[in-house]
Structure 1
Amino acid sequence: MTETAQRGTRAPATRRTTTLVGTGLGHALEWYDWGIYAIFVPFFATQFFDRGNQFSAMLSSLAVFAVGFVARPLGGLLFGWFADRAGRRTAMTVTVATIAGASFAIGVAPTYAAVGAWASLILLLARVVQGLACGGELPSAQTYLSEMAPAAQRGRWSSLIYIASVFGNTVGVVLGLVLTVVLTPEQMQSFGWRIPFLLGGVFGLVAVYMRRNLAESETFTASRRREKARLWPAIVEHRRQALQVIGLSVGFTVVYYSWVIAAPAYAISSLHIGSTAALWAGVGSAVILMVTMPFWGMLSDRIGRKPVLLISTLGCAALLFPVQFLVRTSAWQLFLGMSLAAVFISAGVSILPAVYAEMFPTAIRALGLAVPYSIAVAAFGGTAPYLQAWVGAEFGRSAFTGYLVLLMLVSTAAIATLPETRAKELS
C-alpha cells in the first residue's frame, strides 16, 4: 500500500466525518440555491416578464435559466484556475458565498409590473453570477472529495456529491410543497416564490462557515510543494481528456436535468398535473435516487468504473421511451417514471466525480475538469428545460426523448474510449 493510501486509511473518523459533512452539506446548500429557480418557475415567471402570455413568460424564464449556464464555462475557467492555485477549500468557500448572494438578490428583486424590463435584467444578472459560481463549485467540490477519499473507496465517497445535489434540490421541492399548501396560488405568485430565494441567502452563510473549517486536501498540498505545472501546456497535453469529459457529460447532464430537476415543473406546466402532487412525486423519486447512489459507487470500487457507467447510459437509452409513455396525467405515473429513470441515472452520476478526478493530474485537476464540463453543461444542460417545454409543445414529447437517447449514446461512445481507473492513486 502506498503512503497516500495509508494516510487515507488511517485518517481519523472525526476528520472523515468533517470532510463528508462539510463538503456534502455545503454542496447541498449550493444546489438548493441553483435548483429552486427551475422548481419555482411556474410561480414567478409572470413576475419578471409580461403577464399577457403565461406560456411565453415561462419560456422566457427558462431562457434565463439557460443563460445562467452560458456563464458556467467562464466560471469554470476562473474558479478552476483559482482552485488549482489557492486551494480547493478556498475556492469552494468563495463559490458558495457568491451563489447565495445572487439567490438573495432574486428574492428581493422588483417585479415587471413595478419597473418593467429592469426586473428581467436583474433576474438575468443574478443568474449569470450564479452561473459563474456554479461553473467552479461542482468541479472544485468533486476534486476535493476525490482527493480526500481513500483510493479503494473513491467510488463510494464520490457518490456523496450527487446525493448532496439531489438533497439540496429536494429541500427546495419540499419547501415548495409546504408553501403550496400554506399559501393560495395567488399568494404563491405574488410573494410566496420569494421565500425560497431569501432562505437560500441565509443557508449560504451556513455553507460558508462549514467550508472555511475544512482541511485542505493533502494531495493538493503535496502537489504545491512540487514544481507547478505550466498551465496552458498542461491543458493542451490533456486535450483528449477534455474531449472525453464533454462526451461523457452531455448525456448525463441532459437526462439529469430533464428527469431529476425539471420533471415536476414540466409536469405542472405542460402535462397539467397538480402542483402539489407533482412535487411529491419529485420528492419520492429523489429519495430513491439518493438511496441507490452509494450502492453503485461501491459496485464501481469492486468491478470498475466503465461497467457501471455503461449500465447507466445503455439502461437510460433503453428505458426513456417506455418511461415517457408511462407518464401521462397522473402524479403516480410521474413518480413511477421518475423513479425508474432514477435507478439508471444514479449509476452514472454517482461515480462521475471519481471518474473525472482520475483523468487529470493534481496540478490541473480542477481546471482541466471545470472548463470542458462547464461547456458541456452550458450547451446541453442549460437548454434542457427550455427544449423539453418547447420541443414537447411543437413536435411532441417523443422528439425530445429521441434527443435524450441520442445524447446517452454519445456518452456511451465516450465511455468506450476511457481507460479503467478503479482504485487509481492520484498524482
Structure 2
Amino acid sequence: MASLTRSPHVHNTPVSPRRALLALGGGNAVEWYDWMVYGLLASYLGPQFFPSSNPLSSTLSALAVFAVGFAARPLGALLFGTLADRFGRRAIMLLSIGCMVASTTVIALLPTHASIGAWAGVILVAARIVQGLSTGIEAPLNSAYVVEMAPEGQTARYGGVISVYVQAGIIAASAVAFVTSSVLSPQAMEDWGWRVPFAVGAVLGLIFLWLRRSLPETLRTSSPDDPAPVKTSQVWREVGRNKLALLAIVFVVAGAQALNYTWSTGLPNLARTAYDEDPSAVFAVSTLSGLCIAALYPLVGRLADRKRISRTFVAARLAVVPLVFVVLVYQAPGMATFTVVMLIGAPVLAFTMGLYNTVSATLMPMSCRVTGVGLGYAVGVAGFGGTAPYLMLWLQDMGAAWVFPVYVAVLCLISVLLYTLAFRRGAVRVGS
C-alpha cells in the first residue's frame, strides 16, 4: 500500500487559511443547521405528512423519522469514510454537502400528504436518510481534514474554529425557526411557513458547496508512479492494525458526547418535565450556555496548541470527573439553580467538545483516518451519547440520580487511559 502523508501542496494553494476555514466550517454549520431544523419543526411536519386525528400521533411519526436519520449516520460514516480514504477528502466533502443540499431542497418543496398521499411520507423518510448519511461523515471528515491542512502548531486552533461553526449552525436553526414563527401567523406557519427554514438551509448549502470547490486535496500518495487508489480491503486492514486507537476513539467520543447530551438535552428536559420550569426560560438559559461554549472554543484551541493537544486533552478530561457531579445540585425546582448548573458546565463542555474531534483524528494514520474516526465516532455517539439523556432521567426517576455522574466520570477515565496507551504505542501525533 502506498504510504500516505500530509500533502506538500496544501499550504502552497492560493486559497487563504481564512477562506479555507470558512468553506470547511461554514459547510459544517449548514449541515448541522439542516439537521436540527427538522427536529425543531417536527410538530409542523407531522400533520402535513402523517395526518391523524390525534396531533400528538402525527408529531410522534415525524419524530420517528428524525430517529431514522440517526440510524443512518453510522452507515454514512463507514460508507463515505472508506471512499474518503481511497479517493481523497475533497470529493467526499463536496458529496456530503451536496447530499444535504439536495435532501433539504426536497423537504422544502415536497408536496404534502393532501397532494400525493402516502408517498409524501415515504419521500420525507428517504430525504431524512440522505441527511443522516451526510451528517454521519461530516464530523470525522472535517476532523481529518483539519489535522491534515492546519499549519504546524495550529491544529487545535483550527479545530476550535470549526467547533464554533458547528455551534453557530445549531444556534442558527433555533433563531431562524423562531423568527419565521414570529413573523408569520400561526395558520401561515402550519400551511407553508415551515418550509422557509428548510429553504434558507438549501440556499446556504449551495453557497458553501461553491466555496468548498476551492479547497485543496490533503490526501496524497508518496509514490507518484502508483496513482491508482487504494482498495477498500487495504483501508480496513489498516483500521485493523490500529485497534487500540479505534477503541480509544470510541471512548474519547463517548465521554464527550455523554457530557454534551447531558447539558444540551438531559438537563433541559429534566427542568421541563420533572420540575415543570418555564419552557421559555429554560430555552433562554440553554441558548446562553451554547453562546458561552461557542465563545470559548477559539481560546481552547489556542491553549491546546500552546500546551500541546495531548496534555490539554488529558487535563481537561480529568477535570470533568469531579465537575460532572455538579448535576446533582439541581435536584429540585428552581431556575436559579438550573442556570448556575448550566453555566458551570459551559467551560467544561467547551474544553471537551472543542478537542475531542481533533484528538480522535490524531489517533489514526492518514491511510485510514476518516474510516477509523468515522467508525469510532459512530459507535461512541450511538452507544453512549444518544442514550445519555434517557439514562439520566431514568436514574432520576428511580431515585438513583448519583449513578449518572459516576457513569460519565468512568467513561472519561477510561478515555484518558485508552488515549494514553494508544498515544504511547505509536499513534499518529500530528500537532499533539
> TM-score, normalized by length of structure 1?
0.82
Classify the secondary structure of the residue corresponding to 2:429: coil
How many correspondences in the alignment?
A: 419
Residue of structure 1 equivalent to 2:163: 162
Q: Is the 8 A contact 1:70 1:131 kept in 2?
A: yes
Q: Is the 8 A contact 1:5 1:150 kept in 2?
A: no
CA distance change for structure 1 residues 159 and 17 in 2, over 3 Å: closer, same or farther?
A: same
Answering whether residue 252 of structure 2 is matched by residue 253 of structure 1, we say: no
Letter in 1 for 2:24: T
Q: Is the 8 A contact 1:289 1:339 kept in 2?
A: no
CA distance in 2 between counterparts of 1:320 and 1:339 reads 12
CA distance change for structure 1 residues 382 and 52 in 2, over 3 Å: closer, same or farther?
A: farther
Q: Deviations over 1:389-423 (max 9, x none)?
A: xx748963977885465245213312222135899
Q: Deviations over 1:17-43 (max 9, x none)?
A: 122111111111111111222333355
Moved more, 322-331 or 18-27: 322-331
Any residues of structure 2 matched to 1:204-223 within 5 Å, and which?
Answer: 204-217=205-218, 220-223=219-222
**5+ unaligned residues in a row in structure 1: which ranges?**
none
Residue of structure 2 equivalent to 1:145: 146
**Alpha-carbon offset, residue 147 of structure 1:** 0.7
Q: Is the 8 A contact 2:6 2:220 kept in 1?
A: no
Answering whether residue 417 of structure 2 is matched by residue 413 of structure 1, we say: no
**Alpha-carbon offset, residue 52 of structure 1:** 4.8
CA distance in 2 between counterparts of 1:53 and 1:355 reads 47
Any residues of structure 2 matched to 1:5-20 within 5 Å, and which?
Answer: 15-20=16-21
CA distance change for structure 1 residues 394 and 401 in 2, over 3 Å: closer, same or farther?
A: closer
Residue of structure 1 equivalent to 2:292: 288
- What value does the CA root-mean-square deviation take over the aligned residues? 3.8
Q: Deviations over 1:102-157 (max 9, x none)?
A: 22222334456666654443332222111111122211111111111123221111
Bigger Rg, which one: 2
CA distance in 2 between counterparts of 1:398 and 1:184 reads 44
CA distance in 2 between counterparts of 1:232 and 1:200 reads 35
Q: Is the 8 A contact 2:255 2:408 kept in 1?
A: yes
Residue of structure 2 equivalent to 1:356: 360
**Alpha-carbon offset, residue 210 of structure 1:** 0.9
Classify the secondary structure of the residue corresponding to 1:152: coil
Classify the secondary structure of the residue corresponding to 2:136: helix
Give identity over the alignment, percent: 30
CA distance change for structure 1 residues 145 and 306 in 2, over 3 Å: closer, same or farther?
A: closer
Q: Is the 8 A contact 1:255 1:404 kept in 2?
A: no
Residue of structure 2 equivalent to 1:424: 429
Answering whether residue 241 of structure 2 is matched by residue 240 of structure 1, we say: no
Q: Is the 8 A contact 1:223 1:363 kept in 2?
A: no
CA distance in 2 between counterparts of 1:397 and 1:110 reads 45
CA distance in 1 between counterparts of 2:223 and 2:40 reads 41
**Alpha-carbon offset, residue 167 of structure 1:** 0.7
Residue of structure 1 equivalent to 2:371: 367
From 308, 313, 320, give the equivalent of 2:312: 308
CA distance in 2 between counterparts of 1:266 and 1:124 reads 30
Q: Deviations over 1:189-208 (max 9, x none)?
A: 44333221222111111111
**5+ unaligned residues in a row in structure 2: which ranges?**
none
**Alpha-carbon offset, residue 347 of structure 1:** 0.4
CA distance change for structure 1 residues 382 and 194 in 2, over 3 Å: closer, same or farther?
A: farther
Residue of structure 1 equivalent to 2:348: 344
Q: Is the 8 A contact 1:312 1:348 kept in 2?
A: yes
Classify the secondary structure of the residue corresponding to 1:340: helix
Classify the secondary structure of the residue corresponding to 2:216: coil
CA distance in 2 between counterparts of 1:99 and 1:213 reads 19
Q: Is the 8 A contact 2:21 2:162 kept in 1?
A: no
Letter in 2 for 1:38: G
Q: Is the 8 A contact 1:106 1:126 kept in 2?
A: yes
Q: Deviations over 1:278-331 (max 9, x none)?
A: 444333222211111122222222334345334544544544554475497777
Q: Deviations over 1:241-288 (max 9, x none)?
A: 111111211232233245337876886788666665544433322221
**Alpha-carbon offset, residue 49 of structure 1:** 4.1
Any residues of structure 2 matched to 1:363-402 within 5 Å, and which?
Answer: 363-382=367-386, 387=390, 392=393, 396=397, 402=403
CA distance in 1 between counterparts of 2:396 and 2:266 reads 19
Q: Going by fraction, where is helix more abundant, 1 or 2?
A: 1
Classify the secondary structure of the residue corresponding to 1:221: strand
Q: Is the 8 A contact 1:251 1:404 kept in 2?
A: no
Residue of structure 2 equivalent to 1:38: 39
CA distance in 1 between counterparts of 2:51 and 2:329 reads 34
Q: Is the 8 A contact 2:25 2:165 kept in 1?
A: yes
CA distance in 1 between counterparts of 2:114 and 2:340 reads 40
Classify the secondary structure of the residue corresponding to 2:302: helix
Classify the secondary structure of the residue corresponding to 1:417: helix
CA distance change for structure 1 residues 204 and 331 in 2, over 3 Å: closer, same or farther?
A: farther
Answering whether residue 197 of structure 2 is matched by residue 193 of structure 1, we say: no
CA distance in 1 between counterparts of 2:58 and 2:329 reads 28
Letter in 2 for 1:147: E
Q: Deviations over 1:84-114 (max 9, x none)?
A: 1222111111101101222222233445666
